[in-house]
Amino acid sequence: MSASPSSQSPLSGPALLERIDALAAISAEEGRLSRLYLTPEHRRANDLVAQWMRAAGMAVREDAVGNIVGRYEGDRPGLPALLIGSHLDTVRDAGRYDGMLGVLSGIAVVADLNAHGRRLPFAIEVIGFGDEEGTRFQSTLIGSRAIAGTFDPAVLETRDAAGTRLADAMTAFGLDPAAWATAAYEPHAVLAYVELHIEQGPVLEALGRPVGVVTAIAGATRLAVTVEGMAGHAGTVPMTLRRDALAAAAEMILAVEQLCSGQERLVGTVGRIEAAPGATNVIPGKVRFTIDLRADRDPLRLERVGAVRARLEAIADARGVAIGFETLHESPAVACHPALMAQFAAAAAAEGLDAPELPSGAGHDAMAVAALTDIAMLFVRCERGISHNPAERITAADAEAGARVLARFVENFQPATSLP
């Protein structure tokens, strides 16, 4: 496969989409995009991205957890770097732009600088993170946590569905699991982190705007709720004497919807439900369901979690069933840096674009990198807001708009701390 997709400008939409198609062809499944962390498909993707990085003028390395990193030196060697990144792994049966667009747009920006012989007063590092989705080992953001210095080595003992330990998968990939700490960046070597990503939502399309500036990445609380009633014969237990766990859960699920409606930038979702014993002629005695509640303001999220728990407990009491809660996940909201947001807005304006501000309800590598440095994100419009789905679509024009705004941002980048 050639290092350059065409003779077009690296920032052109068709050139970007051509490379995205080439990368999306690397999959574990015929006819579907599935590329998981530390698999042979991950290896092929890293190798192809490394080829493109080198063609763009970057020195390339693979770090201790499998991130692929390209470095473009500034006007003298060894300067602190502006980091540009996103992920190369996917969910199963994925769309082709989630993560990949950000990595390839970063490479395109560097390729354009290199083509014009330009060096900036800082270095640029483009990172293709190995694991953002968490699909294989159910531990999200492995790559970005590692560079931020917040990777938990206990994760090395987690196993995938086939029983393979993460540490063993790293060894098979050609990595040394004992060297995970070497992936971390020194804070003084980093100026900021920016990430271009498809919106994964419908707001930009509804507004008729190709790009938007992200204000914050929503915090999230995920709960597992267990409701226990009494199983019984569907034909012999009168309706007035039932302790139906599924009927109680149905009322609870509607309560979640009600309590998470009407609040701006707050969403609540019940994504999974299981009823036991699961027979047509048996009153359900036990139900387990999940709640995913997100907001870009932690006080609002935590208040609403408390309200949901209180309402569900009241429903349980009224229906004579027991209820239990388990917290599966808790992550705080992460704010983008106002100065970097302003620079993205200015870059968009210089390209003749009005970039509205909007939060991200989805998680991103930027969440983890925020522990290391200031972050900012640029969203690119996607068709109908569809993501994590083969129907994920963007236009060449929007891909180019995003890349050109990113290029303007980089060319005029002003870090929060003074340059050496």
pLDDT of residue 417: 66
Whether residue 3 lies inside any domain: the answer is no
pLDDT of residue 419: 54
Q: Are residues 77 and 200 in the same domain?
A: yes
Q: Are residues 145 and 235 in the same domain?
A: no
Residues making up the annotated binding site are 87, 98, 133, 197, 222, 281, 294, 388
Q: Choose one of 270, 304, 331: the last residue of a domain.
A: 331
Q: Choose one of 331, 358, 391: the last residue of a domain.
A: 331
Residues making up the annotated binding site for allantoate are 222, 281, 294
Whether residue 230 lies inside any domain: the answer is yes
The pTM score is 0.89
pLDDT of residue 140: 86
- Amino acid letter, residue 97: Y
Q: Are residues 149 and 40 in the same domain?
A: yes
Q: Are residues 255 and 238 in the same domain?
A: yes
Q: Are residues 230 and 317 in the same domain?
A: yes
Q: Are residues 293 and 340 in the same domain?
A: no
Q: Are residues 200 and 260 in the same domain?
A: no
Residues making up the annotated binding site for Zn(2+) are 87, 98, 133, 197, 388
pLDDT of residue 5: 42
pLDDT of residue 263: 86
Q: Are residues 177 and 59 in the same domain?
A: yes
Whether residue 4 lies inside any domain: the answer is no
What CATH number is associated with residue 348?
A: 3.40.630.10
**Can you state the angle between helices 13-24 and 396-411, rounded to 10 degrees?**
110
Element of type H or E holding 70: strand 68-72
Cα distance between residue 278 and residue 273, in whole Å: 12
Whether residue 417 lies inside any domain: the answer is no
How many residues are recorded in the chain?
Answer: 420
Max CA-CA distance within the chain? 83
Whether residue 144 lies inside any domain: the answer is yes
Q: Are residues 359 and 292 in the same domain?
A: no
Number of domains making up the chain? 2
Whether residue 205 lies inside any domain: the answer is yes
What CATH number is associated with residue 225?
A: 3.30.70.360
Domain boundaries, position 291: 219-331
pLDDT of residue 416: 74
Which two structure tokens, joined as six digits, stand for 330? Answer: 């808790």
Q: Are residues 246 and 191 in the same domain?
A: no
Q: Are residues 319 and 388 in the same domain?
A: no
pLDDT in tens, 244-290: 999 999 999 999 999 999 988 899 999 999 999 999 999 999 999 99
Q: Choose one of 310, 331, 352: the last residue of a domain.
A: 331
Segments of the chain scoring below 50 in pLDDT: 1-6
60 strand-pairing partners: 70
**Are the beta carbons of 327 and 220 closer than 8 angstroms?**
no
Element of type H or E holding 211: strand 211-217
Q: Are residues 209 and 284 in the same domain?
A: no
Whether residue 126 lies inside any domain: the answer is yes
